[in-house]
A and B are shown apart, each in its own frame.
Chain A
């Protein structure tokens, strides 16, 4: 059940500060693994931030704390001024404003594409079915798969599924979109269609935090690129500087491995 008490936070706000403010975040997994060791990051409205780093560096864990899919034990995270705490009402309010796209798409296989898109708007935003469907079809048009609206996810290619997943998040009109390795599970020929949709989103001014290994996307779309290693944010720099003249030895070593 959603709580009405928090709807005051819904919709665009005039809050001028950074939309994400994560300070000194520490996370231990239940098995004792120290995944985040004082990671900090600020993201401003309309900004596209790409997070790179070797596997196991805590990139995914870090962005999953931004919509409370992972909890953290020390430090503080504020989304649009709202602190992420254990207060469940607060978490629901934050999740309504933060969209997330997963590596494995995570579409709901028992629902049609259209139903995937209208489920959350009708249940959470209490929109009428007709209104939700109109908006869903608009967004499917935008990601280029309106003609597949009545198919089931299993009948689509990986690239199409990921575009549906992006449209599904957009249906909630989020202020911020998180992408957790959105192209890593795709066949190479399908990567571009997904990146193009993301590029279009960025051009429209969406605030985006993207964990990816796509260097070209980072160079062309990101305002800032972040390197994470061993649970810490090592370097934050504009892409030109990040790829040609990084200031940290760790970044240079990472770039040597991937370029």
Chain B
């Protein structure tokens, strides 16, 4: 017979056990509670009585997209709508097709909470920013579409069948390229010079470009470093160690100046893209080390078994070694991506108007002098949201890829 659990389940009892188990614990808990309450209270007092949020409210467009021409902003709205729709559909399909060995609910609690949070943010943000009713309505519509498509895809997705639903993943790269066209123009739409991009738009653009491109590059470098061909191995080692030995800011300045000399006139990309390439090459070196750690975690027997079955080295890498190595490296890779996202603030040092650059111009405006706290806090929250999204996504991916994970209803 099982012994009964040695503690009661009541929340009060649990609280007492966890916070006040011994007198010393109790004192420590009380002290911490006092410190935290004071800090939160003074932050709230500042936020509601002293802070002047007009600096954020009046510049919200600037923070979002920089000096992107107003007449062309419909493209960005279109892009955000498309991204939100794709997110809703993907989310719903992921729930509609759980891993066959595990199963899972269509609406786990986490999803319900996420939907409520999304709805609250969509209602609160336009009000807090003092946006016009027309724009507030757009945000509501976009959020509504996301949630509705999440529901529809979950409800009717199974009719598609797993194979065809899998094909919908192709939507994402297509959407990325389409987004590039929408932002920069071309294919019949008026061009918007990259000098006019700014704010969150530029931050996300630089970060996503670098994240997407540094990934394949990092994998190749990691494989090169483990290669048996000396030239390839030493080339990779020298590249990785050189990049890791130099501060990003140096490389950024170097990139702005040197790419102009190295490449013949006209070929040197614009400043925004130069910076994006430098970020990519920088991140690839760090990513290569993360992938390498993943590769060395895979037992030699895996490659041997694959080779013994007749797979070529390339097939063995693609189907056996890399999927496992990347899963091992995933948490480290995502923390690299998060650093990369934060490193984009350095671009303000070379004169790009990404989030921090925009913030600095706003704070230099005599109308808003002295309101640094409001601006930096807003920036912090924005970055926190982006990083939290990356982190949540990576943990969900980890759970889905982990063959040992047992169903727990939270996935």
Contacts and interface: CB of A to CB of B under 8 A. Distances in A.
B404 interface: yes
A104 B305 CA distance: 10
B302 interface: yes
A119 B301 contact: no
A87 B401 CA distance: 37
Contacts of A99: 308-309
B309 A119 contact: yes
Contacts of A154: 403-404
Contacts of A172: 309-310
Given A104-B301, A110-B323, A154-B404, A69 B311 contact: no
B319 A119 contact: yes
Nearest to B304: A69
B315 A123 contact: yes
A110 B308 contact: no
Contact of A152 (B310, B314, B319, B404): B404
B311 A123 contact: yes
A108 interface: yes
B329 to A, nearest CB: 13
A206 interface: no
A252 interface: no
B358 interface: no
Contacts of B100: 112, 150
A106 B299 CA distance: 9
Contacts of B315: 1-2, 123-124
A168 B101 CA distance: 20
Interface in A83-114: 92, 95-96, 98-100, 102, 104, 106-110, 112
A151 interface: yes
A159 to B, nearest CB: 18
B14 interface: no
B327 interface: yes
Interface residues on B, range: 20 to 34
A98 B305 CA distance: 12
Interface residues on A, range: 20 to 34
Contact of A150 (B101, B302, B304, B324): B101
A1 B311 contact: no
Contacts of B323: 110
A172 B311 CA distance: 11
A34 B315 CA distance: 32
B22 interface: no
Contacts of A119: 309, 311, 319-320
B305 A109 contact: no
A124 B310 CA distance: 6
A58 B404 CA distance: 35
Given A110-B403, A151-B101, A152-B101, A168 B309 contact: yes
B207 to A, nearest CB: 29
Contacts of B306: 108, 120
B312 interface: yes
Given A102-B301, A110-B401, A123-B315, A95 B101 contact: no
B324 A109 contact: yes
Interface in B302-351: 302, 304-312, 314-315, 319-320, 323-324, 327
Interface string B79-102: 000000000000000000000110
Counting from the closest, the 4 A-B pairs by CB-CB distance are A106-B305, A120-B309, A152-B403, A106-B301
Given A2-B315, A124-B309, 11 more contacts: A69-B304, A69-B307, A95-B309, A96-B310, A99-B309, A108-B320, A110-B323, A110-B324, A110-B403, A150-B101, A169-B309
Interface of B: 100-101, 299, 301-302, 304-312, 314-315, 319-320, 323-324, 327, 401, 403-404
